[in-house]
């Protein structure tokens, strides 16, 4: 079915139709959620207990509480529905509207200056941790097909959540995130604390993790335990931390498995409490969030928000939107972040963001060859 659905990606973009194409970690099939209405349906994060659709939450949803819920209007597992979608697209004009895209590429010197300021704040105990991000603006050929980009990401990152989406109010977003926010099955809810980053050198040449990375990851684990405590959830299984590889880089990961009955009626509230996690914002959360708004020169938009199928196609999984890019014409904006603590070194943080950029850049560089 994947071969039949892939060509729809470029046609949907051409028509400006709200859609998302995605592949779950470890899966061999892709899903395509297409909404016929160009009006976006918004709900509150806390209302997720009774919602169904594909969830798209931007970083600002931490403040507003508003998220987008796309509802599929075609059952594309059926050939008749694929034909119906194709016929409907034929009736639509090509979109001529283009959304503006940020051009706030951050050079190394400016990045270093801002990071050193934040490290000073951390060392004076103003924060425990803050996640600072930068924007890297790259040029790609306008001849590149987004469907090809999606295919190559799938092939290169089989364990990541791969997605591409576009809305009437946004540019194209594409990504390969390694981090789950929450997943639900019949018996339990699973969330994870992922933090600490270094270059993936392979199992045989790994060195012990450093103090900064261990501390950074522990902040996130403690934060999740605090959210569970506020919901009076005391029984859960905690596994880790263990090393998790994500392409060219590695992270520390602790997994939390929570019996589903203990979260009954509070799943939306739990997700609201988790977002944004210290892995993408900082601690204390409210203070770190305000400092991010002040210190960063760009708007994060969907970077470090969350997305995923929610009670859709028999899955309820949300992922933190990391290793992602926004595309418009020949410009690709990469969103690159890293966690800062009092023991951070600015030059090391720059190198970390450079490593993270390779998740998408390594694929983008192969696109024209692939297209031939």
Q: Which tokens in the block code for residue 364?
A: 């983008």
- Alpha helices per DSSP H over the chain: 2-15, 61-64, 79-90, 108-123, 146-156, 211-230, 267-274, 285-295, 346-364, 367-371
Distance CA 56, CA 123 (A): 35
Q: How high is the pLDDT of residue 207? A: 81
Using one digit for the tens of pLDDT, what is the confidence trace for 46-57?
A: 999 999 999 999
* Neighbour tally for 27: CB within 10 Å: 14
Q: How high is the pLDDT of residue 3? A: 79
Report helix angle 108-123 to 346-364, nearest 10: 130
Per-run averaged pLDDT (10 residues), the chain, 372 residues: 87 97 95 97 96 98 97 95 97 86 94 96 92 93 88 94 96 94 93 85 76 86 93 93 84 93 94 93 93 95 98 95 93 93 94 91 72 40
Distance CA 162, CA 323 (A): 10
344, 137 in Cβ contact below 8 A? no
Q: How high is the pLDDT of residue 246? A: 78
Distance CA 225, CA 232 (A): 10
Domains along the chain with CATH numbers: 2-371 (3.60.120.10)
Q: How high is the pLDDT of residue 10? A: 96
Q: How high is the pLDDT of residue 371? A: 42
Q: How high is the pLDDT of residue 131? A: 96
Note the pTM of the prediction, 2 decimals: 0.93
Q: Cis ω on the peptide bond leading into residue 347 (within 30° of 0)?
A: no
Residue 183: which H helix or E strand, with range? strand 180-184
Distance CA 126, CA 59 (A): 22
The DSSP secondary structure of 350-367, one letter per residue, reads: HHHHHHHHHHHHHHHTTH
Q: How high is the pLDDT of residue 368? A: 54
């Amino acid at each position: 079915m994947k071969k039949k659905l892939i060509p729809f990606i470029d046609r949907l973009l051409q028509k400006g139709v709200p859609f998302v194409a995605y592949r779950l970690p470890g899966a061999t099939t892709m899903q395509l959620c297409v909404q016929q209405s160009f009006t976006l349906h918004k709900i509150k994060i806390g209302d997720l207990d009774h919602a169904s659709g594909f969830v798209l939450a931007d970083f600002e949803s931490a403040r507003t509480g508003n998220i987008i819920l796309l509802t599929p209007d075609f059952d594309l597992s059926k050939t008749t529905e694929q034909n119906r979608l194709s016929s409907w697209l034929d009736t639509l004009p090509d979109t001529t509207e283009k959304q503006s895209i940020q051009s706030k590429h951050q050079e190394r010197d400016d990045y270093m200056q801002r990071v050193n300021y934040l490290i000073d704040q951390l060392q004076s105990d103003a924060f425990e941790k803050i996640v600072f991000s930068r924007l890297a603006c790259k040029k790609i050929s306008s001849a590149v097909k987004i469907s090809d980009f999606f295919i190559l990401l799938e092939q290169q990152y089989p364990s990541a959540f791969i997605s591409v989406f576009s809305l009437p109010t946004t540019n194209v977003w594409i990504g390969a995130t390694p981090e789950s926010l929450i997943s639900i099955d019949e018996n339990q809810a699973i969330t994870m604390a992922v933090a600490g980053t270094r270059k993936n050198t392979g199992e045989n040449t790994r060195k012990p993790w450093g103090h900064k990375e261990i501390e950074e990851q522990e902040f996130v684990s403690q934060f999740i335990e605090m959210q569970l405590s506020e919901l009076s959830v005391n029984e859960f299984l905690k596994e880790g931390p263990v090393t998790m590889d994500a392409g060219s880089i590695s992270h520390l990961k602790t997994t939390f498995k929570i019996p589903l009955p203990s979260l009954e009626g509070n799943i939306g509230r739990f997700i609201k409490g988790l977002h944004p996690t210290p892995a993408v914002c900082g601690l204390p959360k409210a203070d770190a969030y305000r400092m991010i708004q002040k210190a960063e020169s760009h708007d994060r938009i969907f970077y470090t928000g969350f997305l995923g199928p929610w009670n859709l196609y028999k899955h309820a999984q949300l992922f933190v939107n990391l290793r992602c890019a926004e595309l418009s014409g020949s410009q690709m904006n990469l969103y690159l972040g890293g966690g800062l603590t009092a023991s951070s070194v600015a030059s090391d943080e720059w190198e970390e963001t450079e490593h993270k950029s390779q998740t998408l850049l390594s694929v983008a560089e192969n696109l024209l060859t692939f297209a031939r």
